[in-house]
Amino acid sequence: MDRVPKPQINETVWRQKMKKKIKLDKLEKEIEKSLASGEWQSLPKSEVSRFEKMAKRSAEHRKREARPVRPALAGKENLLFTVENCSFYNEQCRIMNSMKGRYLLKSVKPRESEADIFGDKSALVLHWLLSNALDKEPFSLRLAAKESGVSLGQAQKVFATLIHRGILGAQGERTAKKFIFKKPAALLKEWEEKYSLVNKVKLRTYRTPLFSAKEILKRVAGSNLKKYIVLGLHSAARAKGFSNTNLESVEIYLLDPKKRLELEKLLELEPQERGYGVLIAEPYYKNWLKRIDHDGGLAVSPDLLTYLDLANYPLRGREQADYLLQKSPELKRIRNAK
């Protein structure tokens, strides 16, 4: 009986293996050099990530091929590297000291940042708390979600953050859990610090040949664009009777950006670099403003949002915001709540 011939190594496969071996040897030498010189500490984050991947591949290859540790790295299995001064880490990170057969620098990832509760939809929950929960008995998460018009998950995210910060208190457990609004003024102050209209809202400034703010608003009120317009900033304070300035400019929130050209034509607007007669803003808190009633004239921004907009606004904003805080019944309730 003829013997079965011993299979020969395919030349293509052999070449591929040799190329891989040479490449891995080159990577190991680069790793050795980086470890010896400490260059990896000054590398940008993307380069450190590449370095870690290279080391991992080298370690896997050695394990698969059962190859010994390279002499240059012998005795360095238990080294502990500390990277306290790397610019891309936001807290002290440590390198794991388990390096047997591999040279991978493992970093401890920084903690995830706390959820942002001052976004568009989250603001609906915050507004509900500051408007409706000041005088309420302990309330449920489900009630807050229903009345503010957001999902239970969204409301839960906001509540969890506020409890962590001590602004809300919780009683009971699971489905029977109730909440108490402990620090309304602290929430308003933090919201004011976190939100800036100049950074969050797209603003366009214009000049117009129309004579006064009354003439501008009269033309807008008589057009079919009225339902897309909400008065904001100084115009909102003036419309509510809480103005503390003699400014005659008009600040408008435009709810539909597609209507901007039509509004520019209606008011004969021309772009202006410095100063303005008319300011058009695309709102950051769209969901909040869309819920305002547009029947019976031009809609006006709520006092709470007007205060937040003015607080960090450069054109006499702080002055007007402080005056609004003193005069608006809605804001006085928040300020005086205990």
Q: Pick 271 or 136 by higher pLDDT.
A: 271
Percentage of the chain exceeding pLDDT 90: 49
| pTM as predicted | 0.65
Summary mean pLDDT of the chain? 78
CB 250 within 8 Å of CB 277: yes
3-state secondary structure of 138: coil
**Res 112: pLDDT:** 41
3-state secondary structure of 149: coil
pLDDT in tens, 145-167: 999 999 999 999 999 999 999 99
pLDDT in tens, 203-217: 999 999 988 899 999
Percentage of the chain exceeding pLDDT 70: 66
Domains, in order of start, for the chain: 13-94 (no CATH), 122-194 (1.10.10.10), 197-336 (3.30.460)
Q: Is 126 left (phi over 0), alpha (psi -120 to 50) or beta?
A: alpha
CB proximity list for 279: less than 8 A, separation 6 or greater: 203, 204, 205, 206, 233, 249, 250, 251, 252
Residue 135 identity: D
Look at 20-29, 115-124, 298-307, 317-326 and tell me which has the smallest mean pLDDT.
20-29
Model confidence at 42: pLDDT above 60: no
pLDDT in tens, 75-122: 443 333 333 333 333 333 333 333 333 333 333 343 444 568 899 999
